[in-house]
Every structure is written in C-alpha cells, then in structure tokens.
Amino acid sequence: MINYKISIIVPCFNEEGNIKVLYKKIKEVLSNYNLEHIFVDDNSTDNTLNILKKLSSENSDIKYLSFSRNFGHQNALRAGLEYATGDCVISMDADLQHPPKLILELINKWKEGYDIVYTIRKDVENISKFKKITASIFYKLINKISDIEIKKGAADFRLLDKKIVSVLIKDITEYHLFYRGLISWIGYRQIGIEYIPNKRFSGKTKYSLFKMINFAISGITSFSTKPLKLAIFLGLIISIFTGIYGLYALGVSIFTDTTVKGWTSVLLSILFIGGVNMILLGIIGEYVGKLYMQSKKRPYFLIKKTNIKI
Ligand code: UDP
Ligand code: MG
C-alpha cells in the first residue's frame, strides 16, 4: 500500500447507471493506493442517492453528499473539494468519459512535483459535432476577451495538490464558480496532459444547450469586464452614423420639401438602436446580477443527506 491518500470527487446528477461501474474501474486502476471517493449527488431525481447509500454502507472508502436542490456541477465540485481529505484530489465526471486509467498518469505528474495536472480533451468521434463546434467557439471567445488563457478542451478532470485545494476553498470566495478559469488564474506549477474521451457510458448529457450558454456567459463575465466596454464602442459608432445621417436629414428638410417620406428609415433606426440597447442592458445586467448575488453571501450548496460527520 502506498502511503498517500488520494481523494476522488465525482459530481453526479442522475447518474444511476454509471456510479457502480466508475467506482469499480477506479478501484481496479488504483488498487494499491489509499483511496477516498466523494460522490456529490446534485439532487438527482433518479436512483443515484439510493445507490450511493447502499454502496457506501458496503464500502468504507465511499463518502457521499446529497444537495437539497440542484446547485450545478461547479458547486458540486466545490463541495467535493471542501470535504476531501487526501494529499491530492482528483475530480472527474461520473459518466466514464474521463478514462479512469489516466488517473495513474495524473498521479505520476503530481509525484514529479506539479501542483496542478489538468487534462485536455482531444476532439475525436466520441464527441458530438455540436459539442465540438460550441466548445471551440467558447474557448476562442474567452481567450480573446479575458486575461486568462484556458486551453481548448480543458475539462473538469484534473488533479490538485492539497495546497491548491486549500487555496480554492479559503482564498477563492466568489459566488459564481468557474473552475477552468480559476485554475488558469491561480498559477502555481501546472501541466496538462491530453486524453481521448470515451463515449458517455450510460444516460444522457446533463448539459443542455441552455445550460451550456449560461455556463459560457458566466465563465466569460467572471474573467473579463471587456463586454462592458462594448457599450462605449457601439455608442461611438452609432453616434458617428447618426451624426452623418442627421446632417443629411437636416439638409433634406432645409433644401427640399419631401420630408414626410422617411418613415422606413425612422422605423429601422429606432428598432436598431432599441435592439442594441437591449443587448447592452443585458450585458450590464449580467454584471449587476453577479454583484447582487455575491453581496448576499449565500452558501454554495446545502446538504440534505450525507454519511460524512459534519
Ligand atoms: N452534473 C452535475 N450537476 C448538473 C449537471 C451535471 O453534477 O447540474 C455532473 C454530471 O453528473 C457529470 C458531470 O457533471 O458527472 C458532467 O456532466 P455531463 O457528462 O452531462 O456533461 P458533458 O460531458 O456532456 O459536457
Ligand atoms: Mg459527460
């Protein structure tokens, strides 16, 4: 038995078909390590919690936490980090898309002295075209407009040394968590390794298009205030155009008598400016909303059931 303790944290939202298989696979791969598995049930509506209860009564290395409602993947990761007690912590998805075998490589890099070992997903057929395209747009956008750099395909499958876990819990207190960005932002000794993802073992993806767009907006606005500047640029451009058009309109009304005709152009410009205003208000609203939620200091999650003594 190797003397380190390794914590594996797994957010689960309706993953009844995956948990047992994942647990078995990890045990196989890490048979000579001292392990702690923390499954975080994000208020699943299927049998996930019952499976976790049963599995944990049979295996002393399983801990579970169950949320009072669906708090989302990132908050589930936070819960895992808060309760993990290992020398290093590995987070991975429940659906076996993150190959358990790769954990050994993560651990080897950690032993070489890296504090953070992140993974980069290679784009292969196992990932849908739609996911590839949306992910590619997202990473391009966030890398362009924010000050951090997130590698394309970086997922929430990574190893963190316990000192990084402590930084993420104690020093990072922002309400809207976006771990991919935070990991890039905090620095320390990092290395990335590539992997080929598997197909989802059982069940469907829990990230709908709507959730993905929300996640992307939240990620971008967490790490950049540049979208706010958009208002200034757009305002300037629109003022220049309307200024020129204003001069033209003035000329027409002074030198001709055909002024009633301009109904279409008036309507179009009102609609255009109205639309632009809405978008900009939305962007400002996103930031105000973030401030508002942060000022409330609400907890990241609430636990309704667990086998951990707290
Ligand atoms: N997940 C979660 N809460 C949610 C959505 C997802 O805990 O509200 C978990 C899910 O159970 C899985 C991981 O987050 O372990 C990643 O989700 P999924 O595999 O559905 O995402 P995809 O791989 O399709 O991006
Ligand atoms: Mg998945």
Element (H, E) at 3: strand 2-12
pLDDT in the model for residue 46: 93
pLDDT of residue 260: 65
Per-residue pLDDT, 259? 65
Q: What integer pLDDT is reported at residue 290 of this predicted model?
A: 86
Q: What is the position in ligand 1's atom list of the atom closest to the CA of 206?
A: 20
- Interval between CA 205 and ligand 2 midpoint (Å): 6
205 lines ligand 1 (CB under 6 A): yes
* Best probe residue, ligand 1, of 45, 48, 73, 218 (max atoms within 8 Å of C-beta): 73
Q: How far apart are CA 212 and CA 46, in angstroms?
A: 22
**How many angstroms is it from 9 CA to the middle of ligand 1?**
13
Whether 98 lines ligand 1, by a CB cut-off of 6 Å, is no
φ and ψ of 275, to 5 deg: -65, -45
Distances (CA, A) of 301 to 69, 72, 146, 176: 8, 9, 28, 12
Ligand 1 atom showing the smallest separation from residue 204 Cα: 20
Using the mean position of ligand 1's atoms as its centre, give its distance from the Cα of residue 260 in Å: 58
Which residue has a Cα nearest atom 19 of ligand 1? 205
Q: What is the pLDDT of residue 285?
A: 86
Which residues in the chain land under pLDDT 70?
1-2, 125-126, 259-261
